[in-house]
Amino acid sequence: MRVLVILFVVVAIGPAIIVDALARVLDRRRLRQVLRTRVARCDAQHPVELVGAWTCPSCHAPFEGHGFGPCPHCGEVAYGLPCPCSRIVVNPLAEIGP
Ligand SMILES: [Zn+2]
Ligand SMILES: [Zn+2]
């Protein structure tokens, strides 16, 4: 009986753990790809520098680095960065948590 319970738990929870681990691996790969990009383009194709000095939208602390990366102080990921033409370049990582 105990074996059946263990088997049930493995079959019930196992796939969820595997899917979760796979999602984490893909998220990390996407994070690395995005953080390698140094220039993004707004909808009007203006280049927007991604590496520089930023202010965190959540804790308002200034930091140097990648504008799409997590804030080194609180881990917040900016939704997007402003282009001088007033459009927003949306951060492809915005929906990924810290
Ligand atoms: Zn912050
Ligand atoms: Zn623009």
Question: Which amino acid does the sequence have at 53?
Answer: A
Ligand 2 centroid distance, CA of 4 (Å): 60
H helices of 1-98, where? Answer: 2-36
Q: Which ligand is nearest to the CA of 98?
A: 1
Q: Whose atoms come closest to the Cα of 44: which ligand?
A: 2
pLDDT of residue 15: 86
Ligand 1 centroid – CA 66 distance (Å): 13
Asked if the model's pLDDT at residue 98 lies above 60, the reply is: no
Asked if pLDDT for residue 26 goes beyond 60, the answer is: yes
Contact 20, 53 (CB under 8 A): no
Ligand 2 mean position to 91 CA, how many Å?
Answer: 14
Sequence-distant (6+) residues with CB within 8 A of 3 are none
**pTM metric for this prediction:** 0.72
Amino acid at site 78: A
